[in-house]
Chains A and B, each alone.
Chain A
Amino acid sequence: MSSGRIPRPAAVAVAVSGMLAVATDCGSAGTPPPEPRPLVSDAVPPGFPSGTPATLAPADNALTEARAQLGRRLFFDAQLSRTGDVACATCHLADRAFSDPNRVSTGVEQRTGTRNAPALVNLAWGVSFFWDGRVATLEEQAGKPIEHPAEMDLPLADAVTRIAADVRYRAAFDDAYGGPPREETLRKAIASFVRVLVSADSAYDRHLRGDDSAFGGPEQRGETVFLSEKAGCFHCHPGGMLTNEGFFNNGLYVDGGDTGRQMVTGRTGDLGKFKVPGLRNVAASAPYMHDGSLATLEDVLDHYERGGSGHVATDPAIAPLALTSDERDDLLAFLRALTDNAFLTDPRWTPPQP
């Protein structure tokens, strides 16, 4: 484990103190610090599928600023792990599009999982969650890592007990949900924060809005390759969210390994299928694939160009490609144009001030 790259609470504390220092500097100059932008916005991201995080939220967990802010606090709180040193944010780093730069994530007591922590980007539009799609809502998803033995290893009931001991949390839960902390509202609050993680300002997004100032020849040619049958990327990564939310076996390994979607459905045909991830900020969310086995975007292209590794259940669409060197370079340029730097550096994706 490379703990130095993961913002354990100490690192988070440094980040927070840095923020405070900045705020203090602003105040000392006589200018009040700017009001932080709210987490919840009514804006419809141009080019996105219908809806906003608020309109897509379930009726029993309407999205409000209070709920999202509460979820933000919980997301960064290591109290939610048994050992008190692993938070959601430990494995989901904001500047990595809320993914983990480690191949697989490390939980309590240095326990390692088997899958790479996926990016948390635009999940308000998602229809299933986890690499194997085993849950259908963010609310259900939010509690799983807290209880997972290799992640945070804390029963939700115990998490609620810890949270309820904090007067600020009690007030925040009362404000957000009209009562004391409960398992259900704890999950709902975290889901509310994840739901507001919207990335819609990459060079590609601006290109879709008619601004090609950062989307030049290579990126435009790369988009053409992306949308071509020759590369076939669009089949699984169509426009909009750049994922079709489906499950496919992309032939990542030769034999054995993680059975993926089959663990959920039990179907023969679902062996080795994993969920298609969205591609916004893909250049920031290395390593790749469900097991983090491909370190770079170049490795990913290598994988698809050779038609996978030959797993017996590889999807028939995975076949050797015949991209030219220029097409490959352009495709990489396109993928890098999916990076939304404003999202990766958004100050709202930090622990709230105490």
Chain B
Amino acid sequence: MFAPRRGTAVVFGLVASLTAGCGGGGGGASPGTAGSTGAAGTAGAAGSTGGAGLAGTGGTATGGAGGAPTAASCDEMPAPRRTAGTILELTFDLFHGTQAFVYGESNILASGPTVVPLNFRFYLSQLALVSAGGATVPVDLVTASGGLEPYGVHLFNAEDPASRTLRVLAPAGTYAGLEIALGLTPACNHGSPNNRVFPLSATSQMTWPLPIGYLFLRYESRVTSSGDAGASAAVPVAIHMGGDVSNLDLPSAPVFRLDGEVAIPTSGPVTRNIRVAVDEIFKGATADVDVSGSPLPPSPQGEIESGERLRRSAPGLHVFSFGP
């Protein structure tokens, strides 16, 4: 019986680790064909055809070293990894500690400040199921009608309830967890939004002027201090996190692993809830990380610096975890 483990999300590294699952180690399948072709049964049998590079890494960041980019291109309609499977619906809910973090409303944090989120959105991509042995099974992001999500990218937008649900087409089996990248592949992080459809168009509100790529996470808020300067300092007003601007060719979207059994039946859909820990995001954005060497320009509200702190400290954060 499905028995999720709560609060066990582990950040295990950058996107390179996931790419190894698609073709890492020099011997994997091509990006377009990576992943299981529909293996049923146990997670161990549902391994990726190109997963040698990551197998057995056990949630550490070492498995992806030297892996090729997940996708060399960023096609609006990527080739499907599989044509059959079960729809796994992942619903995302925002929390700050144990409190629901409600978009557009006053959230009185346990530490004192009151926060009204005004804009909160982030990209999710490169989803993969993780077998008991640690092999990754990349899965396609699909729409409610079953078509592929353009570019294999999902934009969570707190203003849009429909965006709360992300769907993937998964091979049946029992898995030990899930991987998810907070951001875009290098290929998708290049290129003009003008030539792209949503969610990579300018209406995503995730664009920067070329050539510094997209925002991976955008957060803006109104913060009312409780009078405790320390508590307020730990609550950023705005966060604009992008990729590694010093080299957009490098994978730089933090990849998070969520540990917990994921049972995919042969027919569905099946739903799992994912908690988004806003307090962890704040923790990363206000971490004591030296970003003085960043080529990004200084920002009026410090939002870019906050974003860079978040990206650099992501490996120590527990942003995503399975919910009840």
- Using a CB–CB cutoff of 8 Å, the interface residues on chain A facing chain B are 47-51, 127, 227-229, 232, 234, 238-241, 243-246, 248-249, 265, 267-270, 313, 315-317, 319
Contact = CB atoms under 8 A, between A and B. Distances in A.
B251 interface: no
Contact of B194 (A49, A227, A248, A315): A49
Contact of A239 (B193, B204, B297, B304): B193
Given A229-B298, A316-B237, A50 B104 contact: no
B95 interface: no
Given A49-B193, A50-B201, A319-B300, A269 B207 contact: no
Contacts of B117: 269
A197 B64 CA distance: 50
Q: Is the interface of A mostly helix, strand, loop or mixed?
A: loop
Given A234-B209, A238-B207, A316 B301 contact: yes
Contacts of A269: 103-105, 116-118, 222
Contacts of A268: 104-106, 116
Given A49-B193, A269-B105, A269-B222, A317 B301 contact: yes
13 contacts: A50-B196, A50-B197, A50-B201, A51-B197, A228-B297, A229-B299, A232-B300, A238-B202, A239-B192, A239-B209, A240-B201, A245-B205, A316-B301
Nearest to A224: B209
B313 interface: no
Contacts of B62: none
A300 B210 CA distance: 26
Contacts of B300: 229, 232, 317, 319
Interface residues of B, number: 34
B194 A245 contact: no
Nearest to A226: B209
Given A227-B209, A232-B300, A240 B105 contact: no
Interface of B: 103-106, 116-119, 192-197, 201-205, 207-210, 220-222, 237-238, 297-301, 304
B302 to A, nearest CB: 10
Q: Which of B118, B204, B207 has the most C-beta atoms of chain A within 10 angstroms of its own C-beta?
A: B118
Given A268-B106, A269-B103, A315 B299 contact: no
B209 A316 contact: no
Given A51-B197, A240-B194, A269-B116, 10 more contacts: A48-B194, A49-B194, A49-B195, A50-B195, A229-B297, A234-B209, A265-B104, A268-B104, A316-B222, A316-B301
A317 B304 CA distance: 12
A132 B196 CA distance: 26
A245 B301 contact: no
Contacts of A238: 193, 202, 207, 209
B301 A319 contact: yes
Given A229-B299, A315-B220, A267 B194 contact: no
B282 to A, nearest CB: 15
Given A238-B207, A268-B105, A316 B193 contact: no
Nearest to A126: B203
A49 B201 contact: yes
B104 A316 contact: no
A213 to B, nearest CB: 22
B175 to A, nearest CB: 36
Contacts of B103: 267, 269
Contacts of A127: 203
Given A316-B220, A319-B300, A319-B301, A241 B119 contact: no
A47 B202 CA distance: 12
A331 B99 CA distance: 45
Contacts of A317: 220, 238, 300-301
A47 B194 contact: yes
A140 to B, nearest CB: 18
Given A267-B105, A316-B237, A244 B202 contact: yes
